[in-house]
């Protein structure tokens, strides 16, 4: 006799089957193509697909991995994808998941960067960017509000955020020094007043969606067990993967060459991105705009707008920075400007994301041995508070260049102010999506440019 079909409840209680690498490859590629909405949207997609629908991993294990990724410098959503891919399919699974999270965005941004630099004076394109820039200012302000409301839970952390804002705005203190100072304050404060530096330490209590392939009580697989030999091997491989391209760039172009300096600069940026992409953007514009002159403040804002409208991590705006810098400086001459830009975009992506892979592959085994014990340290809590002030400064920076495009001596752009206010209300009050707000502002910008 044939067995009656399972009910929905029985299917929910059935353990999911093992997932072959080919099937996982398809999901990670899909995620890389549809991962809009920044880290919050990307993490939400992974939770819905991997925890609720496919049940590849339990809620508690998912949150455990996410909390570790939140501790690290770098894009937490990309690192979470790398972690889950590694946990399921060893090193190659992690490399595939993390790479597919980035590569679609890289190719799209190379194409969009070329369109921007080649056709940026076309009236429709000018109108689109005119409308998008105020929206980007509102988006950065929303990021500061979102992080601040979660982190700034006492006067100590508010003071750190305020000092960070003043230091970078009024004194132009480099971002790395702000990070180091915040870490020192957090270390000392954590000993003097530990209760003030324990924001966000608790792991959420996992909700059950039925048995998962990697469940709460599933022991770590063999490859996820800590080994000092594995750690040393990974550190050596990571050093080789950084040293070889950096050495080749130094030999070919010299230490002060554009490509070499991009590799060095974005390596430092990759190690300072506590708090996500919005936190490192002030450091990027300090270096790329003010120090190196690879692009203008207006181009930086336009690049962030492109990053907001493409899938993948927002920090992929570094690909735009690299492309524009090498293209405009004509590193390979005027006839090979696109090649120089594309190579620069690929290089800065490599140096930006290499540390993220190493953090996950090296630190994952330690995390798997500490279920429900991973804690946010006091220095990292203080750094996160400082990052709120840095992001707020970024909103001020963007707002100045949007509202006074010709500087304070020029005219004030009231239309841009109106668009920025409307975008902020849509994001903060009505909770509209980033892509939706950007599209509406882009259409408004085209209309305003046409009426003028």
Instruction: Give the per-residue pLDDT at 1.
Output: 46
* Predicted confidence (pLDDT) per residue in 168-195, tens digit: 889 888 777 888 899 899 888 888 887 7
Quick: pLDDT tens for 246-272: 999 999 999 999 999 999 999 998 887
Which pLDDT score, from 0 to 100, does residue 187 have? 85
Whether the pLDDT of residue 367 is over 50: the answer is yes
Residues near 147 by Cβ (< 8 Å), separated by ≥ 6? 275, 278, 384, 387, 388, 391
Least confidently predicted of 74-88, 295-309, 347-361: 295-309
DSSP state of 369: T
What is the reported pLDDT for 206? 44
Share of the chain above pLDDT 90, in %: 40
Q: pLDDT averaged over the chain?
A: 85
Of residues 230 and 1, which shows the higher confidence score? 230
Among 200, 205, 187, 202, smallest CA distance to 153 is for: 200
pLDDT at 277 over 70: no
pLDDT of residue 326: 95
Percentage of the chain modeled with pLDDT above 70: 89
Q: What is the pLDDT of residue 169?
A: 87
Look at residue 144 in the predicted model and tell me its pLDDT.
Answer: 83
Report whether pLDDT(4) > 60.
no
User: pLDDT-based confidence at 202, cuts 50/70/90?
Assistant: very low
pLDDT grade for 74, boundaries at 50, 70 and 90: confident
- 361-380: average pLDDT: 69
Contacts 24+ apart (CB under 8 A), 444-449: 444/131, 444/419, 445/127, 445/128, 445/129, 445/130, 445/131, 445/132, 445/419, 446/124, 446/127, 446/128, 446/131, 447/127, 448/127, 448/130, 448/131, 448/415, 449/123, 449/126, 449/127, 449/130
Most confidently modeled range among 103-117, 237-251, 300-314: 237-251
Q: What share of the chain is helix, strand, coil (3-state, %, to 5)?
A: 75, 0, 25
58-67: average pLDDT: 80
How many whole angstroms separate alpha carbon 413 and alpha carbon 23? 51
pLDDT for 205 equals 43
| pTM for this prediction | 0.76
Helix (H, G, I), strand (E, B) or coil at 214: strand
What is the CB-side half-sphere exposure of residue 298 using CA atoms within 13 A? 13
- What pLDDT score was predicted for residue 199? 55
pLDDT tens per residue across span 213-236: 888 888 888 888 888 899 999 999
Residue 24, pLDDT above cutoff 50:
yes
The vertex-391 CA angle with 320 and 83, nearest 5°, equals: 65
Considering only residues 7 and 421, tell me which one the structure prediction assigns the higher pLDDT: 421
- In this prediction, residue 13 carries a pLDDT of 60
pLDDT at 278: 66
Residue 441 has pLDDT above 60, yes or no: yes
pLDDT category of residue 275 using cuts at 50, 70 and 90? low
> What tens digit of pLDDT does each residue of 139-179 get?
888 878 877 887 788 999 999 999 999 998 898 887 778 88
Average pLDDT over residues 196-208: 52
Distance CA 272, CA 127 (A): 35
144-161 burial: b if 16+ Cβ within 10 Å, else e: bbbbbeebbbeebbbebb
Tell me the average pLDDT across 401-412: 84
At 103, is the pLDDT very low, low, confident or very high (cuts 50, 70, 90)? very high
């Amino acid at each position: 006799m044939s067995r009656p079909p399972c009910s929905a409840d029985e299917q929910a209680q059935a353990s999911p089957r093992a997932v072959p690498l080919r099937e996982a490859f398809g999901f990670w590629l899909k995620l890389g193509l549809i991962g809009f909405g920044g880290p919050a949207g990307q993490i939400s997609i992974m939770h819905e697909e991997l925890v609720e629908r496919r049940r590849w991993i339990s809620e508690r294990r998912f949150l455990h991995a996410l909390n570790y990724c939140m501790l690290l410098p770098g894009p937490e959503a990309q690192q979470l994808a790398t972690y889950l891919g590694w946990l399921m399919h060893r090193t190659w699974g992690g490399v595939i998941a993390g790479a597919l999270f980035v590569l679609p965005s890289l190719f799209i941004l190379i194409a969009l960067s070329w369109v921007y630099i080649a056709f940026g004076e076309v009236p429709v394109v000018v109108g689109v960017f005119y409308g998008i820039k105020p929206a980007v200012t509102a988006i950065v302000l929303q990021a500061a509000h979102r992080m601040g409301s979660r982190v700034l839970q006492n006067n100590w952390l508010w003071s750190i955020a305020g000092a960070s804002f003043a230091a970078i705005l009024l004194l132009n203190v480099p971002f790395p020094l702000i990070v180091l100072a915040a870490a020192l304050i957090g270390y000392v404060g954590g000993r003097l007043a530990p209760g003030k530096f324990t924001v966000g330490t608790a792991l959420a209590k996992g909700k059950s969606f039925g048995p998962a392939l990697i469940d709460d009580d599933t022991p770590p697989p063999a490859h996820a067990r800590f080994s000092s030999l594995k750690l040393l091997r990974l550190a050596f491989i990571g050093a080789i993967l950084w040293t070889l391209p950096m050495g080749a760039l130094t030999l070919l172009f010299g230490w002060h060459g554009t490509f070499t300096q991009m590799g060095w600069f974005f390596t430092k940026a990759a190690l300072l991105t506590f708090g996500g992409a919005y936190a490192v953007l002030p450091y990027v514009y300090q270096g790329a705009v003010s120090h190196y002159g690879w692009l203008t403040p207006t181009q930086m804002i336009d690049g962030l707008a492109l990053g907001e409208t493409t899938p993948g991590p927002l920090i992929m705006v570094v690909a735009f920075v690299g492309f524009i810098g090498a293209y405009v400086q004509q590193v390979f001459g005027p006839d090979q400007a696109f090649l120089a830009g594309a190579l620069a975009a690929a290089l800065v992506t490599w140096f930006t994301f290499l540390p993220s892979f190493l953090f996950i592959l090296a630190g994952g085994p330690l995390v798997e041995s500490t279920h429900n014990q991973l804690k946010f340290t006091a220095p990292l809590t203080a750094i996160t508070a400082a990052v709120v002030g840095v992001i707020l400064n970024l909103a001020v920076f963007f707002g100045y260049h949007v509202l006074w495009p010709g500087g304070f001596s020029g005219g004030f752009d009231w239309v841009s102010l109106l668009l920025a206010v409307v975008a902020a209300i849509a994001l903060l009050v009505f909770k509209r999506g980033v892509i939706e707000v950007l599209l509406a502002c882009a259409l408004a910008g085209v209309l305003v440019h046409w009426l003028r």
